[in-house]
Amino acid sequence: MVLVMLPRFYDVILRAHLDEHRQMAFVAGPRQVGKTTACRALADGYLSWDDRDARRMIQAGPRAVAEHLGLEVARKRPLVVAFDELHKFGKWKSFLKGFFDLYEDRVRVLVTGSSRLDVYRRGGDSLMGRYFLFRMHALTIGELVRTSLPTHPTQRPARLADRDFDALWTFGGFPEPFTRRSRAFHLRWRELRRQQLVREDVRDLTRVQELGQLDTLVSLLEERSGMQLVYSNLAGDLGVAVETIRRWVDTLEGLYVGFRVRPWFVNVAKSLRKEPKWYLFDWSSISDTGARAETFVACHLLKAVQGWNDLGLGRFELRYLRDKQKREVDFVVVRDRKPWFLVEVKAAETRLSPELGYFQAQTRAAHAFQAVLDLEYLDSDCFKHTKPIVVPARTLLSQLL
This prediction has a pTM of 0.94
pLDDT of residue 137: 96
Average of pLDDT values for 36-52?
95
Q: Which residues pair with 389 in a beta bridge?
A: 369
Q: Which residues pair with 334 in a beta bridge?
A: 317, 339
Residue 199 has pLDDT above 80, yes or no: no
- Note the pLDDT tens digit of each residue in 307-341: 999 999 999 999 999 998 889 999 999 999 999 99
pLDDT of residue 255: 86
Phi, psi of 265 (to 5 degrees): -125, -5
The letter for the amino acid at 187 is L
Residue 305 has pLDDT above 90, yes or no: yes
pLDDT of residue 204: 65
Best CA proximity match to 379, nearest among 389, 391, 371, 390? 391
Domains of the chain by residue range? 9-135, 141-398
Cα angle: 301, vertex 279, 192; to 5 degrees: 110
pLDDT of residue 206: 63
% of the chain surpassing 70 pLDDT:
93
pLDDT of residue 129: 87
Fold of 9-135: Rossmann fold (3.40.50)
Q: Which residues pair with 318 in a beta bridge?
A: 333
Residue 2 has pLDDT above 50, yes or no: no
CA distance 134 to 333: 20
- Note the pLDDT tens digit of each residue in 374-401: 999 999 999 999 999 999 999 999 999 9
pLDDT of residue 121: 47
- Note the pLDDT tens digit of each residue in 125-166: 678 889 999 999 999 999 999 999 888 999 999 999 999 999
pLDDT of residue 126: 72
Residue 1 has pLDDT above 90, yes or no: no
pLDDT of residue 116: 57
- Note the pLDDT tens digit of each residue in 110-125: 999 765 565 544 444 6
Whole-angstrom CA distances from 43 to 21, 116, 150 are 15, 22, 23
pLDDT of residue 112: 92
Whole-angstrom CA distances from 115 to 3, 7, 119 are 28, 24, 6
pLDDT of residue 98: 95
pLDDT of residue 120: 46
Q: Which residues pair with 228 in a beta bridge?
A: 277
Residue 356 burial by Cβ neighbours in a 10 Å radius (0-12, 13-18, 19+): buried
Percentages of the chain per state (helix, strand, coil), in multiples of 5: 45, 20, 35
CA distance 397 to 272: 27
Residue 191 has pLDDT above 60, yes or no: yes
CA distance 211 to 198: 7
Whole-angstrom CA distances from 85 to 28, 49, 148, 308 are 10, 6, 28, 25
Q: Tell me if 342 sits within 8 A of 363, measured CB to CB.
A: yes
How does the average pLDDT of the chain come out, rounded?
A: 92
Average of pLDDT values for 214-242?
92
Phi, psi of 13 (to 5 degrees): -60, -50
% of the chain surpassing 90 pLDDT:
77
Residue 280 has pLDDT above 60, yes or no: yes
